[in-house]
Amino acid sequence: MTSWLLLAEAGASAAGTPEGGLFDLDATLPLMALQVVILTFILNALFFRPVGKAVEDREGYISTSRAEAKEKLAQAERLETDLKAQLKEARLESQRLIVEAEQEVDRLYRAALAEATAEANASRESARRQIDAERNTALTQLVKDADDLGELIVSRLLAAS
């Protein structure tokens, strides 16, 4: 290890001499700098620009897709509320129709019932009236027959006497 340190010192002190040393600065320095600058331009053209473009395109694509999806979601939600309102309305409407129909049925039933009752009453009444009339006729006839018979008996009796 000691020899290493000695060596480094030797290298440093030997910088003046043409051969070797750790701190041997020469034309390597500017040429390396030039090389790195050229590498920067090449990498910019081959790597940083295209990859940056790809990444940013994707970021743009993702953000637009997100925005689109959000918009679609909002639209779907709007449609949903819209449809829900429509559904509610339809439900109310159907409820109303049912009530109406029930009322109608009830009304018709009542009307038919009333009509039937009236008819039945009427026919009963007419039957009763007919019966009365016939009874009256029969009574009248009976009375008349009785009168006739009475008269006949009277006349017979009278004739016999």
Partner 1 sequence: MLPLPPALPLAELEVGQHLYWQLGNLKIHGQVFLSSWVVIGALLAVVWIGTRKMDRDPRGVQNLLEFLWDYIRDLAREQIGEKAYRDWLPFIGTLFLFIFVSNWGGALIPWKLIHLPSGELGAPTADINTTIALALLVSLAYFYAGLSRKGFRYFEYYVEPTPIMLPFKIVEDFTKPLSLSFRLFGNILADELVVAVLAFLVPLIVPLPAMFLGLFTSAIQALIFATLAAYYIGEAVHEEHH
Interface residues with partner 1 (CB under 8 A) are: 1, 3-4, 7-8, 10-11, 14, 18-33, 35-37, 39-44, 46-52, 54-55, 57-58, 61
- Which CB, 17 or 161, lies closer to partner 1? 17
- Which CB, 7 or 92, lies closer to partner 1? 7
Tell me how far, at minimum, the Cβ of 71 lies from partner 1, in Å: 21
- Which CB, 59 or 106, lies closer to partner 1? 59
CB 26 within 8 A of CB 18: no
- Which CB, 1 or 157, lies closer to partner 1? 1
Tell me how far, at minimum, the Cβ of 17 lies from partner 1, in Å: 11
Tell me how far, at minimum, the Cβ of 32 lies from partner 1, in Å: 4
